[in-house]
């Protein structure tokens, strides 16, 4: 059961990473830096914040507190990055750190207590905490991207007006056990 949970979590993280990338890929470089107001975050800022969080939480995941002394969280919300290439390097580095850390979790160390700001978590609690945090921000990225693109937005899920067709297709297939992200991760 533990490894089933871990495999499902990995797929969920892949799914959120892909949603972020499908959003980023619809936007111009200028649009990545667009802010609704001075108090709101651009997609670029959200990428930078996700990177900082991922690097802090997943570096030495099993052996050190998830809030690293070297992290400068407040600076994650300052825009000192100026290009899509820089942003994509941060994006990939953060996700790579996460996926590398997950590779070290196994049956023997699954009971390890994970600390974040001195607060103990089981491995599933720590993973869930981060997964929900990343889903929250990726959802914000998708929402901002959709606002920017308007009618030119390409849906990342079931487009408006095709729910009945989509459901009919799903219910016409044999029942099977698979992760819901399987069809999204193949695209």
Distance CA 50, CA 53 (A): 5
- Mean pLDDT across the chain: 93
More confident call, 1 vs 85: 85
CA-based radius of gyration for the chain = 18
Whether the Cβ atoms of residue 114 and residue 122 lie closer than 8 Å to each other: yes
Q: What angle (nearest 5°) sits at the alpha carbon of residue 177, between those of residues 175 and 183?
A: 90
φ and ψ at 29, to 5 degrees? -60, -45
φ and ψ at 179, to 5 degrees? -80, 135
Write down the pTM of the prediction. Answer: 0.91
pLDDT in tens, 19-32: 999 999 999 999 99
What tokens does 47 get?
């990428």
Instruction: Tell me the β-bridge partners of 121.
Output: 114
Whether the Cβ atoms of residue 69 and residue 78 lie closer than 8 Å to each other: no
Of the pLDDT bands very low, low, confident and very high (cuts 50, 70, 90), residue 184 is low
More confident call, 173 vs 46: 46
Surface-to-core class of residue 16, CB atoms within 10 Å of its CB (0-12 exposed, 13-18 middle, 19+ buried): buried
Whether the Cβ atoms of residue 98 and residue 108 lie closer than 8 Å to each other: no
Whether the Cβ atoms of residue 9 and residue 131 lie closer than 8 Å to each other: yes
C-alpha distances in Å from residue 80, one per residue of 9, 48, 83, 94, 140 = 32, 10, 10, 17, 21
Surface-to-core class of residue 70, CB atoms within 10 Å of its CB (0-12 exposed, 13-18 middle, 19+ buried): exposed
The mean pLDDT value for 35-44 works out to 94
Q: Which domains does the chain have, with CATH numbers?
A: 2-186 (1.20.120.450)
What's the confidence (pLDDT) of residue 1? 66
pLDDT in tens, 126-179: 999 999 999 999 999 999 999 999 999 999 988 888 898 888 888 888 888 877
The dihedral built from the CA positions of residue 120, 123, 129 and 134, taken in this order, carries a sign that is positive
């Amino acid at each position: 059961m533990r490894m089933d949970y871990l495999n499902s979590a990995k797929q969920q993280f892949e799914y959120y990473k892909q949603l972020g990338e499908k959003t980023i890929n619809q936007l111009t470089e200028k649009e990545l830096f667009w802010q609704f107001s001075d108090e709101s975050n651009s997609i670029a800022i959200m990428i930078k914040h996700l990177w900082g969080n991922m690097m802090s939480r997943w570096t030495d995941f099993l052996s050190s507190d998830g809030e690293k002394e070297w992290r400068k969280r407040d600076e994650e919300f300052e825009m000192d990055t100026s290009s899509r290439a820089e942003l994509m390097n941060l994006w990939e580095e953060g996700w790579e750190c996460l996926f590398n850390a997950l590779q070290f979790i196994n049956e023997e160390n699954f009971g390890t207590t994970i600390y974040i700001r001195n607060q103990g978590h089981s491995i599933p609690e720590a993973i869930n905490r981060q997964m929900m945090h990343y889903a929250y921000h990726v959802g914000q990225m998708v929402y901002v991207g959709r606002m920017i693109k308007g009618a030119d937005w390409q849906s990342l899920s079931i487009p408006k007006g095709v729910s009945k067709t989509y459901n009919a297709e799903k219910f016409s297939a044999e029942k099977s056990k698979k992760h819901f992200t399987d069809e999204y991760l193949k695209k």
